[in-house]
Structure 1
Amino acid sequence: MKGSSHPSNDVSLNTSENQSIHDIIDQVEPTRRRFIKGAASSSMLAAAGGVTMSGILNTVEAAPIPAGTGQQVGIGFESIAADTLPVADVVRVPDGYTAELLVAWGDPITPAGAAFESSATQDADAQEEQYGAHTDGMHFFPFTSRGKALSDRGVLCANNEYTQEEILHPDGLVGASGYGIAKCRKSQAAHGISILEVRKLAGKWQVVKDSPYGRRLTANTPMIFSGPAAGHDLLKFNDYDITPSGSVKTGTTDGFKVYGTQNNCANGFTPWGTYLTCEENWNGYFGSTTGSVPSAASGETGKLYNRYGVTASGFGYLWHTADERFDVSKNPNEPNAFGWVVEVDPFNPESVPVKRTALGRFKHESAQHVVDAANNVALYMGDDERNEYIYKFVCSGKYNATNRAANLNLLDSGTLYVAKFNSDLTGQWIPLLPGTLGSNGIALRNNPNFSGANDAEVLAKILIKARMAADAVGATMMDRPEWTAARPRLNGYGKIEVYCTLTNNNRRGSSASPTSNATDGSTTAGSARPAVDAANPRANNIYGHIIRWQENADTVLATGFTWNIFAQCGDSVTTKTPYAQYSGDIVDNPAGSADIGAPDGLWFDWFGRLWVQTDQIGDGSGDWINIGANSLSCADPNTKEFRRFLTGPNKCEVTGITMTPDGKTLFVGIQHPGEESTAANPTQFSNWPASQWSFASDGVTPLPGGRPRSGVVVITRNDGGVIGA
C-alpha cells in the first residue's frame, strides 16, 4: 500500500529502457496470555456472548456464511452510497453504526509520550514515544481473564508504513533549512510499528497512555535475523552507532544483527500470539551520493539492485544524504536488511523483533496463516509489485496448541513455495529449494544466481533473492498481489480456501510484443509487459481483481490447488471502452451500488464475512468519478455479493482492519488523508480527523487541526451487536 508521496507499484520506480534469536521472544506470563483450546460455531459463539482465544485464532482456518435465498445471509446492513466528487472529509458508516477516533499520528502511546503539536515542530525523540505515521495493517491481541479472551482490553499492533514529509516537518522535505539528520531521524522514527494498549472505559475506547506495553519499533530499532539466510555474507553490513547527530561506522555486522524495519505495509499474526509485520516498498529509502548504483551487468549487487528496484535517487526521501547507513555507495549490502517478515511479541516489551529469513525476501504484503487439521502451519504471502508472485511458506514443525514455547521458532524452518496458475483452473506450488529444476531444466543449485559451497548457502541465496528464484522456476506473474486472507472453516466447512487481492497492472497486455520476467533474474523490477492470461485476464487492469484458491486434499502440505477469480473490480456505469474491460463483475443489489476498484486490504472476520479495502487516488476524480472515495466493503464468499460499509476522507487510503473477540468492535485504519498537500498549506485537501471530531478518544483533550493525520477509527453498532451481522 502506498500513496502518491510513496510511489504506487503501478508506476515504475527504476530507470530502465522501459517506461513508466533464537531465544529472543520470551514467554509471557501464562495466566494472562494462555490460548484456550476449543471451538464453536458462529451461532453458538454469538449466543454465548464471546469466543475463546483458540476460537479466534482457529477461525482463520475455517466457514462459509450459510447459504440462503434472497437477502445476503449473514450481512445485516445496506450499502452506503459512494462518496463521489467532492469527497467529504469524514469517515462514513451505515445507519445504526458509530465511528469514533481511537488514535492518530503523534498521539502519545507510552508513559514518556508528549501530546501532538500541530506545528509539527516535535523532533525524533518525541516521535519515538508517539503513534507513528500512515497507519496500515494491524491486529488486536486481547488480554485474557480466567481463560476467556477479553473484548474490552488488549494490545493493538499497527503498522506505520511511510511518511508524507510535507506535513511531517514544518517546512516540508527541504524548506529553508535544507534536509539534514534531524529531519531524517524524525522520518525514520515515524516509520515502523506502534504497539499500544487500548481499553474500553465508560463505553469509549481509549489508548492507555501509561501502559508498560506501549512502545515503538522504528527504522533504527535493533533486531536480529534468524533462519536459513542468517549469517550469510549478503546480510553483513556496516555496523553503526546510531545517534541523533548521525550514524558513525563502528565495523561490520555478523549477518545476525540488523537495525530497523520500514515501509511496514500489511501484516499477519500467528496462532501462538505474535505479530507479523511485512516490509514492502523498502527499496525507495536507499540512494547513492555518487548519483549512480552498480548496473545489472556489473555483478551480484547490481543485479540485486535491478531486480528489487534500488536506484540512485530512491523515492526522494533523502535519507541517504543525511544517514550513511542508507547510502549504497558506502554501505552496499544494507538493502538486503529489508524485504522480510518480522515477528514481534506484543506482550513483551523487552523482546527483540526477529526477521524470519525462511519466508523469503521481496516486497512483502501480508502473511496469512492457516493451520490444517493435522496442525501443519502455512503462511500465504503476496509480493506487491506489477508482475510479481504469490508465495506459500510451510513450516517443518507442527503447531503445538498446549505449549507456546514450542512454537516460537516454527518460522525458522520449512519450505518456501511460489505459485503457478494454469489455464485449466489448477495450479502448483513450486518449492524454492536447491534441487528444484528451473524452467530451463537446470537445478537452482547450479544456477549462477544461487551457487554456493553447499546447499545451505544455496538456500540462503534463494531466500535473499526470492524474486529471482521465482523467475527461474516459471511462476505466474500476477497483477500486484497484495493482501491474503483465509476463509474461516466454521459450521463443518473444511476447505482451505485462500484469497488474494490483485490491485492493478497497467502494463498487463500493454505491448504487441509481450515480455515476461527473464528466467535469469535480470528483469528490472516492475518493467515487464506480460500478455493477459487466465489468472490475470484483463489488459490495462486499472481496477484490479480478487483471486482465490483451494488446497488439494484440504492440507497446507498440498503442492496442487484449484482456483478461480472471485471478483473483477470495476465501474459498472463507466464510459470507458471497451466496456467489458473496465466494468467489472461486482455482484451487488442494486447493480452498481457497491462498485470498487484497486482492492488492497483483505480480511475475514471471525464469522466468515470477507472485508475488502481499497487503495486508489481517493478523491473521486478521473477513473474514479463513479466509484468515489476509497472504501471498506463486506462480501459474501458464497454469493459474491458486495456491500459498501465505509468510505474514507478525501485522498486517503482505507487500510488495516481487526476486530475484538466478540465481534462487536471493529478497528479500521485511515492512511494519508489529504495526500499531496504542501508544507505551505497542509490542509489543502484534508484536515481529518479534526474535520470530523472536536475531541480525542478520551472525550476531553481537544483535537488539534492544522494538518491531516493518519489514524485508527473504532466502529461499533449502536445496539451493541456484532459488526456486519
Structure 2
Amino acid sequence: MSAQHPVFPQVDPDDVSSNRSDNPSFGEVVQRRMSRRGALLGGTAAAAAFLVGPGAGSGAATTSTTGPHPGTGHGHGHGRPGGGGRRLLGFEPVPTSDADEFVVPEGYRAQVLIPWGTPIRPGGPEWREDAGNTAEEQAEQVGMNHDGMHFFPLGHGREGNQRGLLVLNHEYIDQELLFPDGAEEMTEEKVRKGLAAHGVSVVEIERRRDGRWERVDSRYARRVTGDTPVTFSGPVGPRHPALQAAEGPRGTLNNCSNGVTPWGTYLACEENWNNYFGTTDESWEPTPSQERYGVSAAGGGFDWHLADSRFDLAANPNEINRFGWIVEIDPKRPDAKPVKRTALGRVKHEGCTVTESRGRVVAYTGDDQDGDYIYKFVGEGNWRLQRALGRSPLDHGTLYVASFRDDGSGEWLPLVHGRGPLTRANGWADQADVLLRTREAADAVGATKMDRPEWITINPKNNDVYCTLTNGSGWDSAVSPRDPNPYGHIVRWTEKRRDHTATTFEWDIFVLAGDPAYDPQVDLDETNVFGSPDGVWFDNDGRLWIQTDISNGSQHLAEKGYDNIGNNQMLAADPETGEIRRFLTGPRGCEITGATATPDQRTLFVNVQHPGETTDHWGEATAEDPRAVSNWPDFRPNGRPRSATVAITRVDGGKIGA
C-alpha cells in the first residue's frame, strides 16, 4: 500500500474548533522542533530520541482470534517481553476485533457490572429492556454512558480490596436508546429522564468468595443528576450576577473524565455542556464569549430547549454560565451538595488529575476541543492547613495555561486578573470575569493550540505528566506532528525539578498513534496498532493504560485510515522501554473509557460507553431497531445495548497486567 495517507477527515466529526485566535498551535511547535533537530519523524536517531517509538512497536507478527462469549472474552497473541529482565507487561496481546464482544487476554476474566439501568440499591426500580423506565425510576438507577470513575476502598488492608464505593460519571445520553420512541418528539418528561440519566452514580460493591463482584445495599448509594441542587465556591460565588437564573442552581451535565483529591473527594468534570442549550428566538445572537464556547441557537441536537425553558438561551440566558466547571462530590456524605469549584476555570473539562507538591495541591485539566488548551491549577498554600482553617484548597490558588515551545521547553502562563493582558483597560473586570471566560483569557496570554487535549495522568515513579491528544484538524504547531492529525498522539512533560508547582517544563512525544500502512512515521504493529487515544491512567506499578475513542464516523473505514484498527480498545505501555501491548477490545460502536483498580491491583474496572451507537460502518441504531449495531452485554432478543462497568480479574488472582 502506498505510504501516502487516504483522504483523512479534516476534523473529528464530533468536534469542530471554536478557537479563532492567532495563538501558535502544537503542530507548529512539533514541526519547528523536528526541523531544529534535523530529523524526519521515525527516520533517524534524532527522531527516535524524540519519539519513544523504538520499543513501541514491540510485538511479533502472529496472533489468534477469539470466539464470541457474551459479556466476557478470552484471547491470546504473542509479543516479546519488555526491555531487559523486567516484565512490566506480562500478558499476551489480544488481536484487533470487529466482533460484538468484550475480549481480554488468556488467563483473565471479565464480569459485566452495573450496566445502565441497574438500581443503585437492591430493591430499587428494575431495568426495563424496552426503555420504559420513568424519569423518577431513572433517577434511582445507574445512569447512561459510563465514563471516568474511581474506586474508594471501604476499610483498610484486605477489607479495602474486597469492598468499596465505585463512583462513576455518565457523560451524555443516546436519545434513540433512552426513550421507547426515540428522539422524534421532545417532551418535558423526556427532558426529565435525560437529566436523570446524566451525572454521577455512587454504588457500593463487594467481592464475593467466588471472586465475582456484586452491588450491595449502602447508606452511601446516591445519584447526582442534572437536577440535583448544587452550589458554587471560589471567585465566582453563588451570588455572582452571571449565575442568577430563573431557578436555583441545579445539576451537572456531560461529565467526562474525573479526578480524586488527597482528602478523598471525587471530581466530576463538565465537558460539552454547550450542546444542551438552544433557542428558537430568531432575535437571539451569541455573544463573543458564547461563540468562543460553541454556543449556538441550534444546540447540539438534544432539543431540550423545545420542552424546557431552563435550556432556552433567550428565555434563561444565565443558566449556561452554571456549566463548564469542576464539580466536587464527597462520596461519603450523601446529603452534601456538590460544589462547583470555579477557581479551576470554565472550559470543556475532560478531566482533573490532582496531585500534591511541596504540600500544595496541583490539578491538571485538558479542554477537549480541537485547538484548545491544557491548564494547571496550583493551590496557594499547604492543603492540609487550608482544610484545617475551613477553606477548600481548590478555591485559593493560581490557574495557568500551557505554552509549548519548539525547542522542547514550555511555560505555564498565569491567568490572573491584572497581569499581562488581563487588565481592566483590556476589558477584564476581575478574577471572576477571567474564570467565566477562561478560554478567552488563555487566548489573550498566547497559549498553545492542541489537538483535542483529553485525559492527563502522572507517572508515580518519576512524576512525568502524560496527556492524550485524541486527534485534530492539523494545527500548524510544534506539538502536533501531522497535518491533519486523524490518529492523535500522547505528549508528556517533566516539570522543572519534577516539582508540579513549577512554571516551566520540558516536553516530548511519548507515542504517535496510527496505522503504519497509511503513515510511515508510526512505529506500531498488529499487536498494538491504535488510534484516537483518549483515556489514560497509571497504575501503582507504573504501567500506563491507554484507552481509545475512535469516532463512530471513522471506525473500520478505509477512507478514514481506520480499517486495520478495529473496535475501540485498551492497551498497556511500559514508559521506560516504550513497549505497548493491546490488553482488551470492546464491542461494536463503543468507546473504552474509565480506569480504576482496587489497592492490591487485582481487580481492574473499566467502562464500555455507548455500545451499539450508530456508526457509519455498522449502521443506524433506532427506536425501531436498537440492536442494529450491538446487543452487548445482555444479548436479549428484545433488549438494547447498555453501557456498563466491567470488572477484570486474573484467573490465578495475580496483579492485572503483570
TM-score class, shorter-chain normalisation, is 0.7 to 0.9
Query: What's the counterpart of residue 595 of structure 2?
Result: 657
Name the amino acid aligned to 2:468. T
* TM-score normalised by length of structure 1: 0.77
Name the CA shift for 1:148/1:555 in 2 (closer, same or farther; >3 Å): farther
Alignment match of 1:155 (pick from 165, 175, 178)? 165
Query: What's the counterpart of residue 579 of structure 2?
Result: 641
Query: What's the counterpart of residue 171 of structure 1?
Result: 181
User: Take 1:212 and 1:569, find their aligned partners in 2: how far apart are those partners?
Assistant: 44
Structure 2 counterparts to residues 279-294 of structure 1, below 5 A: 279-291=270-282, 293-294=284-285
Structure 2 counterparts to residues 482-493 of structure 1, below 5 A: 482-489=454-461
After superposition, what is the alpha-carbon deviation per residue over 1:679-724, rounded to whole angstroms, capped at 9, x for unaligned? 1100001000013xxxxxxxxxxx7851000010000000000000
Name the amino acid aligned to 1:346. P
Structure 2 counterparts to residues 61-460 of structure 1, below 5 A: 69-70=83-84, 73-83=87-97, 87-110=98-121, 113-145=124-156, 150-174=160-184, 178-231=185-238, 233-240=240-247, 258-291=249-282, 293-295=284-286, 302-372=287-357, 374-400=358-384, 409-438=392-421, 443-448=422-427, 450=428, 452=429, 458-460=430-432
Q: Is the 8 A contact 2:572 2:581 kept in 1?
A: yes
In structure 1, stretches of 5+ residues that fail to align are 1-6, 17-66, 241-252, 296-301, 453-457, 490-494, 509-529, 692-702
After superposition, what is the alpha-carbon deviation per residue over 1:601-637, rounded to whole angstroms, capped at 9, x for unaligned? 0100111100000001365233221111100000111
User: Take 2:389 and 2:19, find their aligned partners in 1: how far apart are those partners?
Assistant: 47
SS of 2:155's partner is strand
Q: Is the 8 A contact 2:289 2:437 kept in 1?
A: yes
Does 2:434 align with 1:501? no
Name the amino acid aligned to 2:568. N
After superposition, what is the alpha-carbon deviation per residue over 1:546-604, rounded to whole angstroms, capped at 9, x for unaligned? 00101102222211000001111000223xxxx34xx5234xxxx34201100000100
User: Take 2:283 and 2:366, find their aligned partners in 1: how far apart are those partners?
Assistant: 30
Aligned pairs, number: 578
Aligned-pair CA distance for 1:375? 1.5
User: Take 1:120 and 1:552, find their aligned partners in 2: how far apart are those partners?
Assistant: 53
User: Take 2:327 and 2:128, find their aligned partners in 1: how far apart are those partners?
Assistant: 31
Aligned-pair CA distance for 1:70? 4.4
Aligned-pair CA distance for 1:112? 5.9
User: Take 1:226 and 1:169, find their aligned partners in 2: how far apart are those partners?
Assistant: 36
Q: Is the 8 A contact 1:687 1:705 kept in 2?
A: no
Alignment match of 1:721 (pick from 642, 648, 654)? 654
Alignment match of 2:634 (pick from 684, 690, 702)? 690
In structure 2, stretches of 5+ residues that fail to align are 1-10, 21-80, 615-620
SS of 2:162's partner is strand
Name the amino acid aligned to 1:216. R
Name the CA shift for 1:283/1:681 in 2 (closer, same or farther; >3 Å): same
SS of 1:688's partner is coil
Does 2:543 align with 1:609? yes
Name the amino acid aligned to 1:414. G
Name the CA shift for 1:715/1:82 in 2 (closer, same or farther; >3 Å): same
Aligned-pair CA distance for 1:641? 1.3
* TM-score normalised by length of structure 2: 0.84
Aligned-pair CA distance for 1:316? 1.2
Aligned-pair CA distance for 1:405? 5.5
Name the CA shift for 1:292/1:545 in 2 (closer, same or farther; >3 Å): farther
Query: What's the counterpart of residue 562 of structure 1?
Result: 506
SS of 2:136's partner is helix
Name the amino acid aligned to 1:328. L
Name the CA shift for 1:475/1:181 in 2 (closer, same or farther; >3 Å): same
Q: Is the 8 A contact 2:96 2:526 kept in 1?
A: no
Does 2:459 align with 1:472? no
User: Take 2:13 and 2:267, find their aligned partners in 1: how far apart are those partners?
Assistant: 22
Q: After the TM superposition, which of the residue ranges 204-213 and 657-666 deviates more from structure 2?
A: 204-213
User: Take 1:8 and 1:340, find their aligned partners in 2: how far apart are those partners?
Assistant: 24
User: Take 1:13 and 1:428, find their aligned partners in 2: how far apart are those partners?
Assistant: 23
Q: Is the 8 A contact 2:16 2:369 kept in 1?
A: no
Aligned-pair CA distance for 1:399? 3.1
Name the amino acid aligned to 2:653. G
User: Take 1:711 and 1:119, find their aligned partners in 2: how far apart are those partners?
Assistant: 17
Name the CA shift for 1:568/1:113 in 2 (closer, same or farther; >3 Å): same
After superposition, what is the alpha-carbon deviation per residue over 1:76-126, rounded to whole angstroms, capped at 9, x for unaligned? 01211111xxx1111100000000111100010135621101011111000
Aligned-pair CA distance for 1:238? 2.1
Name the amino acid aligned to 1:95. E
Name the amino acid aligned to 2:91. F
Query: What's the counterpart of residue 36 of structure 2?
Result: none
User: Take 1:617 and 1:308, find their aligned partners in 2: how far apart are those partners?
Assistant: 21
Query: What's the counterpart of residue 38 of structure 1?
Result: none
Aligned-pair CA distance for 1:138? 0.4
User: Take 2:291 and 2:86, find their aligned partners in 1: how far apart are those partners?
Assistant: 48
Query: What's the counterpart of residue 524 of structure 1?
Result: none
After superposition, what is the alpha-carbon deviation per residue over 1:236-294, rounded to whole angstroms, capped at 9, x for unaligned? 23233xxxxxxxxxxxx5xxxx2100000000101110000100000000001314632
Structure 2 counterparts to residues 548-627 of structure 1, below 5 A: 548-574=492-518, 579-580=519-520, 584-586=522-524, 591-617=525-551, 619-622=555-558, 623-627=561-565
Alignment match of 2:484 (pick from 504, 515, 540)? 540
Alignment match of 1:680 (pick from 602, 624, 629)? 624
SS of 1:478's partner is coil
Q: Is the 8 A contact 2:12 2:472 kept in 1?
A: no
Name the amino acid aligned to 1:488. P
Percent identical pairs in the alignment equals: 48
Q: Is the 8 A contact 1:674 1:683 kept in 2?
A: yes
Aligned-pair CA distance for 1:369? 1.1
Name the amino acid aligned to 2:87. V
Aligned-pair CA distance for 1:69? 3.3
Q: Is the 8 A contact 1:117 1:704 kept in 2?
A: no
Name the CA shift for 1:9/1:485 in 2 (closer, same or farther; >3 Å): farther
SS of 2:189's partner is helix
